[in-house]
Structure 1
Amino acid sequence: MISSIVLPVSTGKDRGRPRKDPHSLARWTPPEDWSRLVAWISPEEKKALKHVAIDAGVSVADLVRALAGGLAGGAITHEELLGHVQKGRHVMEKIPTLFERDDRFRVVDRPRADCAWVFDGEGVGTEKLDGTNVRLTVRSGQIVRVEKRRNPSKAQKQQGIVDGWYVDTAEDSAEDKWILDAARNTDVSGWSDGEHSCEALGPRIQGNPLKLEEHRCIPFNLQVPAYEDAPRSYKELQDFLAALDSKFAPGHLAEGIVFHHPDGRRAKIKRKDFPSSA
């Protein structure tokens, strides 16, 4: 089990600025036969790693080395590790990606069976917006409730709870500040009464890839731009997304496309899903 891995404890001597020369940073030289491993991770994954590292009293790098050391030393088997990887992929892909992925997590020209309807020409492609999933409840053209999506904890996943749900935001919560700001900036006067799932976007949300000047909530069922001419094959989608201008924020590349079936099924593909060269 991962919990049996012994984490290296930092003494603090190898970090910070040396006392004799406070203007220079302490440097750590890796052993001669060591190599550097680089991986791109999402903001949520980075935050989760930092929380675990803080609890363990080590750096994120030490945490990753501990996992690798546990695998090399037999504290965790590769079967156990692969099980966690597969569970992680399942959680990340609530909306399935159109194509299967390779060992580098890039899509390959092999359609997923559960997305066959897309390749049969069914559904409509809409712009994928990169923000935070929220839900607004509207009554008589006014927002009466703002909720954010919460994903199950590790313990809940072990109990079979895999789907997320919505919880109320709080005015005095620092982590809800920008979601609530997005809600306040959203004109819902023309929206029907009921609950509307939205994407909260803006300068302080998910890095603001569309370079928006204010926070707003975009309802999936009302305002997400559609691409009626979106292609459906691997190569055509790769070329299409490489230069696809955002309809929501012209002048910036769209992150990807989400195909919507009339029966509620969805499937997605993002520009960064494809290998850099193919």
Structure 2
Amino acid sequence: MAEAKKRGRPRKDPTTLARWTPPEGWSRLVAWLSPEEKKALKRVAVEADVPVADLVRALAGGLASGVITHEELIGHVAKGKLVMEKIPTLFERDDRFQVVDRPRAECAWVFDGAGVGTEKLDGTNVRLTVRSGHLVRVEKRRNPGKAQKQQGILDGWYVDTDEGSAEDKWILAAARNTDVAQWPDGEHACEALGPRIQGNPLALDDHLCLPFNFQAPTVPDVPRSYQGLRDFLSTMESKFSPGHLAEGIVFHHPDGRRAKIKRKDFPKIAAGA
């Protein structure tokens, strides 16, 4: 008979909830939202792939540090990272922000069998410029603000990182810890990963940058149906960090178009289903 698993360390007071202690000087902001406002904010957080609290904190941080003006507030996203143009999710979402079996029209090429799949890595998008095997520039992505969108500027762009910015500290650490000696000259879009970036879901020991154009792990024979992708992603192990589940798949079309799907986009499978 197998030995019963021992219980973990008991809490000092099991009748009370565990509490997070904020840093000294921090304060809590509470706001009342209409159902429509809450839904809109949640949708932005889902697309940015962060909790709503982190989204709000990033917006406030951007204003406090002067990274954005009040006109640009709506364009600032996700844990201080500034991101590139949105990659569409393969399927439409329901009111709970989970995908349903209804493909998006702009992603029809995926279901037609075009393009190849690569593992989606959960980090921060950056761009490294390399010359003669040396890193000469580190940039992060920025989205257009509200005023710029009204002018027809819809796609994001890269801006320089700041050596003195706490927001950019771990991006720069990842860039400097990446061996670019054999990289071709040019600008390389990358995913910055590591212990202090996006919660480190792949449990990496070091910070580094992985270029999309020649090192993103390819995933052969990816299913292209709703149920097929749901089943596939429920057990897909990361090629970059074996032993951990991959976050999702990004499909790449030869003409540059992309589409994505994440494991957590799907409704959770009920026990016994």
Tell me the TM-score normalised to structure 2 length: 0.70
Determine which of 198, 221, 242 is the counterpart of 1:206: 198
Q: 1:184 maps to which residue? A: 176
CA distance, structure 2, for counterparts of residue 50 and residue 271 of structure 1: 25
Q: Is the 8 A contact 2:85 2:156 kept in 1?
A: no
- Matched AA of 2:227: K
Q: 1:108 maps to which residue? A: 100
2:148 is the alignment partner of 1:156: yes
CA distance, structure 2, for counterparts of residue 164 and residue 51 of structure 1: 17
Determine which of 214, 219, 223 is the counterpart of 1:227: 219
Structure 1 SS opposite 2:183: coil
CA distance, structure 2, for counterparts of residue 203 and residue 154 of structure 1: 33
Query: 1:81-120 maps to which residues of 2 (within 5 A)?
Result: 94-120=86-112
TM-aligned CA deviation for residue 106 of structure 1: 1.0
Which is greater in Rg?
1
Deviations 1:201-254 (A, max 9, x none): 001111111111111000001111011111111101000000110000001100
CA distance, structure 2, for counterparts of residue 47 and residue 259 of structure 1: 27
Between 1:41-50 and 1:200-209, the stretch displaced more is: 41-50
Query: 1:7-156 maps to which residues of 2 (within 5 A)?
Result: 41=45, 42-43=49-50, 45-50=52-57, 94-156=86-148
TM-aligned CA deviation for residue 93 of structure 1: 7.7
TM-aligned CA deviation for residue 137 of structure 1: 0.4
Pick closer, same or farther for the CA change 1:241–1:92 going to 2, 3 Å: farther
CA distance, structure 1, for counterparts of residue 228 and residue 95 of structure 2: 23
Structure 1 SS opposite 2:107: helix
Q: 1:240 maps to which residue? A: 232
Number of residue-to-residue matches in the alignment = 208
Q: Structure 1: give runs of 5+ residues left out of the alignment.
A: 1-36, 55-83, 85-90
Deviations 1:113-142 (A, max 9, x none): 211111111111100001111000000011
Pick closer, same or farther for the CA change 1:188–1:144 going to 2, 3 Å: same
Structure 2 SS opposite 1:146: strand
Tell me the TM-score normalised to structure 1 length: 0.69
Pick closer, same or farther for the CA change 1:271–1:204 going to 2, 3 Å: same
CA distance, structure 1, for counterparts of residue 240 and residue 153 of structure 2: 34
Q: Is the 8 A contact 2:236 2:245 kept in 1?
A: yes
Q: 1:257 maps to which residue? A: 249
Q: Is the 8 A contact 2:91 2:103 kept in 1?
A: yes
Determine which of 178, 186, 197 is the counterpart of 1:194: 186
Q: 2:29 maps to which residue? A: none
Structure 1 SS opposite 2:129: strand
Structure 2 SS opposite 1:245: coil
CA distance, structure 2, for counterparts of residue 145 and residue 139 of structure 1: 9
Q: 1:175 maps to which residue? A: 167
- Matched AA of 1:190: Q
Q: Is the 8 A contact 2:237 2:244 kept in 1?
A: yes
TM-aligned CA deviation for residue 50 of structure 1: 3.9
Between 1:236-245 and 1:110-119, the stretch displaced more is: 110-119
Pick closer, same or farther for the CA change 1:274–1:92 going to 2, 3 Å: farther
CA distance, structure 1, for counterparts of residue 135 and residue 93 of structure 2: 40
